[in-house]
């Protein structure tokens, strides 16, 4: 009797701990603080370091759909997909922006290797997409041309 | 070889324009649509409602439009537009009550019994006035554009078929055609200079869209205008912008000139489906 | 007045993709107001959380490099029709908003 009750309580306790760990009790509350240092970095390598430390960065495993030339530098749509297992984080860095890190997605169980975002590009630049999967950080890059145009008012 | 074909086609056009009266709208449509078929052999007629995005010269930028279209920026606004269209006036009537007596969007603009050219913009305001409501003053952006979008989207997929069968309509048609082919402004360009003769070519880093299909997607939701807080544009807003680009004094929205131009373009678009609203840069 | 927010849930293979659009200025803090000549202060969404049936599945952090009227998209790997998706955003000025939808 006593042992069964003890076990039941332990299980219930474990569920409670796990739930609060991934925000079940407070689904609106963000899991971690906004990464100020990463967003404030003015050099892309510093924003990458602020996010991933000294992790080994390898190429491949990421598909980036993006225009070769942007219609308007203020709204450049990007679509990132990856079939790498155990994706934890996806980050988008625009090299020539005043603050290269534009956004990053933390991926928890229930979500996968897909991220869509629309970013600002100050000028023609390489766009780097980082995916942390397992213990490695993968990268893919593409240059996107930005010209000034726009006929008609 | 390609240049030669273009020159020959243009001469054909010039002949038609010069002759004026004896060229029927039907002849003009065949010639106009045929010109683009030759110039852009891989582009189907129906694709022209997607504008510059379907031209091969736009390939480097096409993914930009495709990605935006996965969730068009105008979608959130269209909920608002449909609500505005459906909202009853103080007297209980709605826009649908007026428009059920009007032609379908595929037959706009049209010439009425009095010989006046009737556009969707004009008929929206006529409806408001007839029901004791204030007409909309801003004919370029905002609410008027949303209402036009809410009306026209009900006919998406249906083919343009405006009526040019009366002497009054033919007069409007000839007037519109003349405006389209007449050079204007400091830069001395006609609509045709850019959108016929130079369709697909670059100007100041932009690719010129084909004249064929222009209007079938209006009202337009533009990224450029969204950034300034006035994303929507009626066709006449766009005409004014174009006129300013060639440093010509623009006409007023819903002026006779722009109504005639809208009519001519609608006739040239015969057979192309409506696709409203459109997302453009 | 609440900022317009719209969510779309689309099936993509065995997964679902959630796209969300928020009407937000995403001001960088480097733009000058044409009328006053003064810099418009930075005003941008910092964090957006995505939850499935109350469980947090993804969290996005943004800076001023994300476009005005931002769009974000994430995937759901284990959702099914009837599941509830909720999205919540919070910006650097303490403003927030949310939207909910059901997987069809």
For residue A17, pLDDT over 80 is answered with: no
As given in the structure block, the two tokens for residue B55 are: 């031209």
Q: In Å, how far are B76, B182, B212, C25 from B191, measured between CA atoms? A: 33, 8, 11, 35
For B72, nearest residue in chain C (alpha carbons): C21
Average pLDDT over chain C, rounded to an integer = 97
As given in the structure block, the two tokens for residue A128 are: 């780097």
Cβ <8 Å between B61 and A79? no
For residue C90, pLDDT over 80 is answered with: yes
What is the per-residue pLDDT for B205? 86
Q: Range with the lowest mean pLDDT among A62-66, A132-136, B3-7, B65-69?
A: B3-7
Q: Which of A114, A115, A121, A116 is nearest to A75 (CA)?
A: A121
Mean pLDDT in residue range A25-50: 86
What is the per-residue pLDDT for C2? 87
For residue C93, pLDDT over 90 is answered with: yes
Q: Which single residue is written with the structure tokens 């009550």?
A: B97
Looking at this predicted complex, what is its ipTM?
0.97
Which of A19, A33, A110, A113 is best to mutate for the C interface (most C CBs within 10 A)?
A110
Taken in order B250, B252, B253, B258, the sign of the CA dihedral is: negative
- Measured between its terminal Cα atoms, the distance across chain C in Å is 29
For residue A19, pLDDT over 50 is answered with: no
Which residues have a Cβ under 8 Å from the Cβ of A36 and sit 6 or more positions away? none
For residue A2, pLDDT over 60 is answered with: no
Which of B223, B225, B226 is best to mutate for the A interface (most A CBs within 10 A)?
B223
What is the per-residue pLDDT for C100? 98
**C45/C95 Cα distance (integer angstroms):** 8
Domain map of chain B by residue range? 2-72+161-280, 75-155
**Residue B127 annotated to the active site:** no
CATH fold, domain A32-144, is Immunoglobulin-like (2.60.40)
The CATH class of the B75-155 domain is mainly alpha
Q: In Å, how far are C2, C47, C48, C73 from C98, measured between CA atoms? A: 9, 12, 9, 15
Could you list the beta-strand ranges (E) of chain C.
5-12, 15-22, 45-52, 55-62, 71-76, 84-91, 96-102
Cβ <8 Å between A111 and C72? no
Cβ <8 Å between A145 and B67? no
Mean pLDDT in residue range C50-71: 98
What whole-number percentage of chain A has pLDDT above 90? Answer: 73
Structural domains of chain C sorted by starting position, each given as residue range(s) with its CATH number in brackets = 5-102 (2.60.40.10)
What is the per-residue pLDDT for B22? 60
Q: In Å, how far are B100, B124, B151 from B128, measured between CA atoms? A: 15, 6, 14
For residue B148, pLDDT over 90 is answered with: yes
For residue A13, pLDDT over 50 is answered with: no
**C42/B26 Cα distance (integer angstroms):** 57
CATH fold, domain B2-72+161-280, is Cytochrome Bc1 Complex; Chain D, domain 2 (1.10.760)
Cβ <8 Å between B71 and C68? no
Facing B67 at nearest CB: one of A65, A148, A149: A65
| Residue pair C94/C47 in contact by the 8 Å Cβ criterion | no
Q: How many CB pairs under 8 A join B and C?
A: 23
For residue A27, pLDDT over 80 is answered with: no
Could you list the beta-strand ranges (E) of chain A.
57-59, 62-65, 76-82, 87-94, 101-107, 114-119, 125-133, 136-144
A partners (3+ CB pairs within 8 A) are B, C
For residue B203, pLDDT over 70 is answered with: yes
Cα dihedral: B149, B153, B157, B161 (round 10)? -60
Task: Give the H or E element holding residue B280.
Answer: strand B278-280
Domain map of chain A by residue range? 1-27, 32-144
As given in the structure block, the two tokens for residue C30 are: 């480097």
Angle between helices B2-19 and B167-181 (to 10 degrees): 140
Mean pLDDT in residue range C63-84: 98
Provide the pLDDT confidence category of residue A11 given band limits of 50, 70 and 90.
very low
C15-48 pLDDT per residue, tens: 999 999 999 999 999 999 989 999 999 999 999 9
Which residues have a Cβ under 8 Å from the Cβ of B268 and sit 6 or more positions away? B28, B29, B32, B33, B211, B212
What is the per-residue pLDDT for A29? 64
Average pLDDT over chain B, rounded to an integer = 93
What is the per-residue pLDDT for B2? 42
B2-72+161-280 and B75-155 have identical folds: yes
What is the per-residue pLDDT for B13? 53
Query: Residue C95 has what DSSP assignment?
Result: -
Q: Which carries the bigger pLDDT value, residue B85 or residue B205?
A: B85
Mean pLDDT in residue range B52-64: 98
B247 in contact with chain A, both atoms CB, cutoff 8 A: no
Provide the pLDDT confidence category of residue B23 given band limits of 50, 70 and 90.
confident
| Residue pair C15/A112 in contact by the 8 Å Cβ criterion | yes
Q: Which of C50, C45, C43 is nearest to C28 (CA)?
A: C43
Cα dihedral: B123, B124, B130, B136 (round 10)? -130
| Residue pair B256/B117 in contact by the 8 Å Cβ criterion | yes
**B87/B94 Cα distance (integer angstroms):** 7
For residue A46, pLDDT over 60 is answered with: yes
């Amino acid at each position: 009797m006593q042992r069964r009750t003890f076990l039941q309580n332990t299980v219930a306790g474990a569920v409670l701990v796990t739930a609060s760990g991934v925000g079940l009790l407070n689904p609106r509350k963000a899991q971690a603080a906004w990464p100020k240092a990463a967003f404030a970095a003015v050099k892309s390598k510093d924003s990458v370091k602020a996010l991933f430390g000294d992790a080994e960065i390898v190429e491949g495993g990421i598909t980036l759909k993006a225009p070769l030339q942007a219609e308007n530098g203020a709204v450049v749509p990007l679509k990132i997909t990856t079939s790498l297992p155990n994706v934890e984080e996806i980050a988008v860095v625009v090299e020539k922006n005043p603050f290269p890190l534009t956004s990053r997605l933390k991926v928890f169980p229930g979500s996968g290797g897909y991220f869509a975002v629309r970013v600002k590009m100050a000028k023609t630049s390489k766009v780097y997409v980082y995916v942390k999967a397992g213990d490695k950080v993968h990268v893919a890059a593409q240059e996107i041309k930005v010209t000034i145009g726009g006929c008609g008012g | 070889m390609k240049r030669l074909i273009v020159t020959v086609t243009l001469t054909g056009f010039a002949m038609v324009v010069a002759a004026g009266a004896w060229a029927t709208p039907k002849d003009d449509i065949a010639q106009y649509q045929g010109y683009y078929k030759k110039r852009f052999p891989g582009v189907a007629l129906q694709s022209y409602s997607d504008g510059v995005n379907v031209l091969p010269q736009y390939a480097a930028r096409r993914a930009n439009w495709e990605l935006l279209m996965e969730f068009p920026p105008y979608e959130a606004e269209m909920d608002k537009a449909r609500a505005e269209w459906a909202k009853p006036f103080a007297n209980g009537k709605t826009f649908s009550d007026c428009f059920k007596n009007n032609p379908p969007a595929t037959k706009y603009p049209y010439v009425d019994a009095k010989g006046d050219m009737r556009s969707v913009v004009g008929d929206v305001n006529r409806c408001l006035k007839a029901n004791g409501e204030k007409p909309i003053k801003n004919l370029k952006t905002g609410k008027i554009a949303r209402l036009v979008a809410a009306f026209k989207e009900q006919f998406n997929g249906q083919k343009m078929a405006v009526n040019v069968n009366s002497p009054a309509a033919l007069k409007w048609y000839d007037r519109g055609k003349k405006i389209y082919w007449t050079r204007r402004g400091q830069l001395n360009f006609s609509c045709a200079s850019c959108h016929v003769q130079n369709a697909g070519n670059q100007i100041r880093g932009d690719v010129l869209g084909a004249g064929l299909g222009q209007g079938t997607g209006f009202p337009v939701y533009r990224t450029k205008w969204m950034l300034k807080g006035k994303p929507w544009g009626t066709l006449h807003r766009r005409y004014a912008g174009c006129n300013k680009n060639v440093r010509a004094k623009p006409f007023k929205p819903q002026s006779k000139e722009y109504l005639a131009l809208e009519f001519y373009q609608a006739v040239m678009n015969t057979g192309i489906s409506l696709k409203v609203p459109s997302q453009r840069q | 007045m609440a900022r317009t927010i719209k969510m779309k849930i689309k099936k993509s293979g065995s997964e679902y993709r959630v796209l969300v659009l928020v009407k937000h200025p995403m001001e960088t803090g480097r733009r000058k107001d044409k009328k006053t000549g003064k810099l418009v202060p930075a005003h941008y969404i910092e964090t957006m959380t995505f939850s499935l049936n109350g469980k947090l599945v993804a969290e996005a952090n943004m800076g001023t490099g994300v476009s005005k009227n931002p769009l974000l998209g994430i995937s759901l790997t284990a959702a099914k029709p009837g599941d509830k998706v909720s999205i919540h955003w919070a910006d650097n000025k303490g403003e927030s908003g949310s939207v909910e939808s059901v997987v069809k």
